[in-house]
Structure 1
Amino acid sequence: MSLHLPFFVYGTLRPGEVNHDLFLRGRTRHAAPARLNGSVLYDGPGYPYAVEEPGGGTVYGELVTALPERYAELLVALDRLEEYAPDDPAGLYVRREREVTRESDGRSVRAWVYLAAPAVAARLRAGGELIESGDWRVRT
């Protein structure tokens, strides 16, 4: 497992959204537009879920770099927010290391991404509300 990866955020943690100031303010050094290819976005409702779809789809968000001295604290806080616990079959999200693409230069970067847990992803594929744009901010 890699340490100190940036985080790819695509929903309520994005700048201007409800959880950004609560969880990221004062703990990060940089945020920049990025995209996660090979995934689609579903409405929770209230918050989104990224679901991996190899070969199709793009999810848009920000690549957030934590302050080194706040990294461990931020990781714990985000795991709690996303109700992530390793090997918990009842969890809503899983945290995975994935390649994301920075919009500024097209460079690929390894980052932590919170994806829909397998049972949640199956339920969403069967009848969830797909956000066609792949962007939580333009989900209407």
Structure 2
Amino acid sequence: MTDDAALPFFVYGTLRRGQRNHGRYLHGHCERVEPAELAGAALYEGPGYPYAVADPDPGRRVRGELVTVRAGDFAQVLAELDELEGCRPDGRGLYVRRPLPVTASLAAPGTARVTAWVYLAGPDLTTRLRATDPVLIPSGDWTAR
């Protein structure tokens, strides 16, 4: 899989509908938005935004939305989201973008696992924020914290 494959995005914080960055970066570019969750990750409160990190606890989940961007808008949205998230090709940015399995809860019938781009806290951010005794969001849902 290439680093720019046209996958949906799993968003869990300020890019969700109703949050401050959705209108600027995603509104008008979405083909579909549906509830979803990412297993094997924990969600923490950051300085004004959340960050997700891989977590070995199989019960941990991050709740968010699976966003499918219109094909003609994908390259632009990908570039803008990478810039917003401080995603760098060397993997040392604020966030890193990874293709991960996500469970979409509105896919017909029942639920479906799909591969989506997920922005996880980069290694430096994870180290820095964990050193400050971060606040876990137990529900895994930024909007319900």
- Shorter-chain TM-score bucket reads over 0.9
CA RMSD of aligned residues (A): 1.3
Unaligned runs of 5+ in 1: none
Q: Give me the identity figure in percent.
A: 52
Q: Of Structure 1 and Structure 2, which has the larger fraction of its residues in helix?
A: 1
Q: Structure 2 counterpart of 1:72, which letter?
A: A
Distance 1:125 1:132 in 2: 16
Residues 43-62 of structure 1 mapped to structure 2, 5 A cutoff: 43-56=45-58, 57-62=60-65
1:120 matched residue in structure 2:
125
2:25 matched residue in structure 1:
23
1:135 matched residue in structure 2:
141
Structure 2 length-normalised TM: 0.90
Distance 1:88 1:35 in 2: 24
| Shift in Å, 1:26 | 1.4
Distance 2:56 2:111 in 1: 19
Distance 1:111 1:88 in 2: 18
Runs ≥4 in structure 1, deviation > 2 angstroms? 122-126
CA offsets 1:14-72 (integer angstroms, 9 cap, x no match):
00000001000111111000000000001112110001002331000000000000000
Structure 1 length-normalised TM: 0.93
How many positions carry a matched residue from both structures? 138
| Shift in Å, 1:88 | 4.6
